[in-house]
Structure formats: C-alpha cells, structure tokens
Amino acid sequence: MIKDSKNLLDPSPEQIRSWANAAVELIADYLSTIRDRRVYPSTSSRQIRERLDSSLPEEPANFDELLHTFRNTLIELSRHNGHPRMFGYVQAPGTAIAAIADLLASALNANLTAWRSAPAAVEIERLTINWIKQIIGFNREGAGLFVSGGSMANMAALAAARRAKAPAQIQNKGAQSCAKTLRVYASEETHHSVAKAAALLGIGRDNVRLVSVNERHKINLDELVAAIEEDRAAGHLPICLVANAGTVATGAFDPFRQIGEIARRFNLWLHVDGAYGGFAALAASTRPLFGSIEEADSLALDPHKWLYLPVDCGCVLYRDPEIARATFAHEAEYTRVIGQEADEAFAFWDYGPELSRRFRALKVWMLLKSVGLQALGEAIEKDLACARHFEKLVQNSEDFEMLAPVELSIFCFRHLPARLKGALATGSSEREKIEKQLDAHNERLLLALQRDGSSYLSNAQLRGRFSLRGCVMNYRTTLRDMEILLGDLRRVGAQLEVSG
C-alpha cells in the first residue's frame, strides 16, 4: 500500500531537480545525435506493444525506469522529425528552446481562456500575435489567437466567413434556415481541412467548389470567375474564396492581388491558407509573394511549421476582430466578466472555438526573443535554397525528372529507370501503360526508401501521376543532404532492380 501519496504527487524541490536534470541530459544527447539515427524505425505495432508494460499501474514506478522506457522504446522506435533528411510531409524539427518553453508552460499550467484566468500569459499571447501580424504584413488593426493547428485555423476562419456573408439567422437556426446553398471556392490543391470545415459548419463538402490549377499549380482565375458566376446564376450564395500561400502538394502560391480583386468584385470573404508557406515572408527571396496580403479577411498560419516549433501551435488572424467576436462570443453566467476594464475584460473564447487553451504563446515568444528574425529568415532562405538545389540536381540528371516547379521548399519528382525511360521515348501508343508502370515503380521506390531509413520522402498525385514528394523545413538540412537523398534513391532503386 502507498503510505504517502502526497509526496508522490508533490515531490520535493530536490526530487524535481533530479528528474529535470536527467531528462534534460537525455534531450541534449538525443538532439546532438539525431543526424546519426535512422529517420524511420524498422518495427511494427506488435513489437512496440511488447516493449510496453500493459498492466494497469497500481504501484508507482521509479522515474529512472520511466526515462529508460522513453530512451529505449520511444526514442528508438519513433520517426525522427528533427532529422535533416526527414523530407516527408510539412514537418518542422522543433527547437530546444521551445521544448524548454513547453516544460515551463506546463509547470505554470496557465489556462488562457480570458485575461482574468492568466493575466501575464494572455499579454504574452497578445504581444506575439502582434509580432506575427508585423512579420506577415497583415492588417495591424486585426486580431488573432493561437489554435491547435492549420485545420482549426481554417475552420475558425470559415466560421467567421459564414457569419459575415451568409444570412444572420444561420448562426442560431442552422443552415436549413437559409434558402440558398452556400458556396466556397478553392483550388484543387487546397488542403482537405477546408472541405472538412465546410462539412462541420453545415456548408457541406460538396459546396466547396474546387477549381483547376494552371501549369504552375496555381488556381485558374478564369475558371474561378466562371464558377462564381455560374453559381450566382443558379441561385446559390457564394460566401468565401480560399487562396493558398503554399499548397501542401507542390508549394504553389496563388496570386493574391488578382484573387483579392475577384473577392471584392463578388463580395466574398477572402481567406488565405498560409499554414505551410506563411512564414516564408521572413525570407527575402519570397517576401514579394506576400503583396496584397493585408487585404485578406482571415489568415491561417502554423508556427509549428516554418517557425520550426514543436506541435501544437497554429494561428488564425482576422482583419475585422468584431466579425470574429460576433461568430464566437456566447453569453453564459459562468463566463461573465465582472468589474474589469476593457483590456482586462478580454477573453480569447470570444474569437475562437476553444474555451480551455494551453499556453502555446510561450514557445513562440521564447523562440522569437532568443533567436531573432534575422536568424529565422536566414534559416528559411537556406531551406528554400536546398529545394532549388535539389531541383537542379534532378534537372541535370538522366534518371530523374521534376513533376512540378519548385516555388517554396517542396519538390515533386520521380525516378526514371533506364528500361522505362527508353520505352517512354518510343512513342505514344504504349505511353499510358508505361506511365502506370512508372507510377508503380516509384511507389515501390518510396516504400523501400522509407524502410531504408537514411532519408524519408512522402508522395503526391499530380495530374494523375504518382510523385515522390519532399519538403525542406529544417535548419539542420544542408545542400549535401539533398545530394545524399538522390544517392539514397539510386542505391535503393538499384536494389529494387536486382530483386525484380
């Protein structure tokens, strides 16, 4: 029987220091050796479960035992997102300063519902939101808050768009109270969270009209205008236009100025999904892409992507805070603020869907203060240079080809083994058959590369073709890593050819 549960739940300062020192030592060892690890483990769900004690813990375990499990099971059998050749998805490596910030935030355990709940923490969040508006060039009179990620930011923005552009009774009576079908417009490369948000908000997945993209994977403006005009003629109600600041498939950046003109012409809410590419505003070479961003009605960002922060930390900005407040504010006695001035009566629950909220802003504040914008901009510029370097390597090769131009740090390409490349050049009669063989070959190559562990890619479907896809989003990645990736693919590809 446990005789003193208080000491277990409320350990002494000496015990806390002992735990923390051991944990920090492990963190330092892990981060200093991350380049030497396999990106992806060779394991299975069953093997991991067999290493974990599945019995319900009735008695306390020693902290050293817990740390041993973390070191020898969790670290050993995890995908290492901080590895310099982790190119799969849009995945940030995290930073040491942010890991420490998360520890401190958990120790304080502030709940950022309203100013009265966490006065200093709320002020830190309001300050960092203002910094982010300045970084991006967003409307300085706007407002925003941190959310779990880009999906929640897109949902919050779409809710505000519905409140601003749809009949007011929808807010209380639901979508069935509106005689017209609501329509949202986005390119076919837009993240699926937009359609998911439409489904959850009662707009409907089918009412998100996906517009084709041009040869650079940007939204087709003529087709967009035609779709809006067609829907208006059919009696539907267009409410929102979504532009991409870096799509997740190819990194394409939609033209904000022209899209803004279309949004104003048809009185649409303009939302920009910048979850991936938003913080490319810090890099000199891509800053010009952000012209007219101040005209957006809302903007989704992910500091846990190109600010290199660990999850979770998304962000949504609104040009008109009062529309957001009209969308999310709800009067209840248990949330009523009594006897405070305007600044102190502030509540984040009036501007987003969450009530309980973690102190996400601390890691943003600590990173920006400890690193500075110049160093962050240089790191992002280096990521962009790595992707462009890889594009040149592929273009100068005989056995690979690019499937989309590199605009930010995503690169899409495929392997062309000699036997299929030669057949592809012979004529069009067998072309579709050969293309399918290339798709199958590159899919096998991707799986083999992931199992190999030296480098990690993901995939995309571009114009019906299977594409190998990578994203550089790591301050550890170098030009040499891009060359190693190509070498890994050739080595693994040769092994596939031998094995048949």
Query: 433 CB contacts (<8 Å, ≥6 apart)?
Result: none
83: which 2 tokens?
A: 């590895």
Cα(233)–Cα(225) distance, rounded to whole angstroms? 12
| pLDDT recorded at residue 314 | 97
Cα(455)–Cα(37) distance, rounded to whole angstroms? 10
Alpha helices in 10-138 (DSSP H): 13-32, 45-51, 63-69, 96-108, 119-136
Partnered with residue 273 across adjacent β-strands are 244, 300
Spell out the per-residue pLDDT of the chain, length 500, in tens: 445 566 789 999 999 999 999 999 999 999 999 999 999 999 999 999 999 988 999 999 999 999 999 999 999 999 999 999 999 999 999 999 999 999 999 999 999 999 999 999 999 999 999 999 999 999 999 999 999 999 999 999 999 999 999 988 888 888 778 879 999 999 999 999 999 999 999 999 999 999 999 999 999 999 999 999 999 999 999 999 999 999 999 999 999 999 999 999 999 999 999 999 999 999 999 999 998 899 999 999 999 999 999 999 999 999 999 999 999 998 655 455 545 567 888 999 999 999 999 999 999 999 999 999 999 999 999 999 999 999 999 999 999 999 999 999 999 999 999 888 877 766 666 788 889 999 999 999 999 999 999 999 999 999 999 999 999 999 999 999 999 999 999 999 999 887 76
Please, is 56 exposed, middle or buried when counting C-beta atoms within 10 Å of its C-beta (0-12, 13-18, 19+)? exposed
- Residue holding tokens 């949504």? 316
| pLDDT recorded at residue 3 | 52
Cα(210)–Cα(188) distance, rounded to whole angstroms? 5
- Residue holding tokens 């029987």? 1
Domain 13-80 has CATH 3.30.110.60: no
- Name which of 283, 286, 280 is nearest 301 in CA terms: 280
| pLDDT recorded at residue 112 | 96
Are the folds of 104-371 and 374-499 the same?
A: no
| pLDDT recorded at residue 262 | 98
Collapse the DSSP code of 460 into the 3-class scheme (helix H, G, I; strand E, B; otherwise coil) and give the result.
strand
- Taking the domains of the chain in order of start, what are their residue ranges? 13-80, 104-371, 374-499
Global pTM reads 0.94
If one looks up domain 374-499 in CATH, what number appears? 3.90.1150.170
If one looks up domain 104-371 in CATH, what number appears? 3.40.640.10
Intra-chain end-to-end CA distance of the chain, in Å: 61
